[in-house]
A and B are shown apart, each in its own frame.
Chain A
């Protein structure tokens, strides 16, 4: 059974950056596309981007281009998402989620990011 375990809650000031990690269990890491999504308080899901199984290719949503960086470390089966130039509207729960294709089969537990001065 695949498990995705994310790093803990973060608090940042406006203008700062945050890096969230997501560690995958099992032998799926090298086959999984890993997505990053977020959910603002009381809102629906918003897709941010995806990194390919090898980590060699990333695609991000247009509204996050230039602010989001995704990377993977195959030695630790961990993917990372860094979001820069934070503003209050970035306060949300951030999820990693993975699947063998572009679909999402499994979700991480979520990481709460609070952006506040």
Chain B
């Protein structure tokens, strides 16, 4: 199985900050990488697919980059509604596997 390693596991930030989360795959997954956001007690919400494409309706303050094994998610200007846990996952092959999550908190 492909291992997905996210860092950091948590970070503290302020409203207006630019934050970047990284995700590393244990083998080359091309651009078959997605990011999603999850708030406590809520279902996940997909943000980015194909490493850098925004899902419909997702604001442009979210951006993704990378290919192969190294990827990142950047939030350009944190707003109160962005404080949540972010996960990466690959869909290059089965089983899909997920990063451990990055909790973004104040």
Contacts and interface: CB of A to CB of B under 8 A. Distances in A.
A106 interface: yes
Given A103-B32, A107-B43, 16 more contacts: A37-B96, A44-B100, A47-B95, A47-B98, A59-B94, A61-B94, A61-B95, A97-B44, A102-B96, A103-B91, A104-B34, A104-B89, A104-B91, A105-B49, A106-B46, A109-B43
26 contacts: A44-B87, A44-B100, A45-B87, A45-B89, A45-B98, A47-B94, A47-B95, A47-B97, A50-B94, A61-B95, A95-B44, A97-B44, A101-B91, A102-B94, A103-B32, A103-B50, A104-B36, A104-B46, A104-B89, A105-B46, A105-B49, A106-B46, A107-B36, A107-B43, A107-B46, A109-B43
A107 B44 contact: yes
A105 B55 contact: yes
Interface residues of B, number: 21
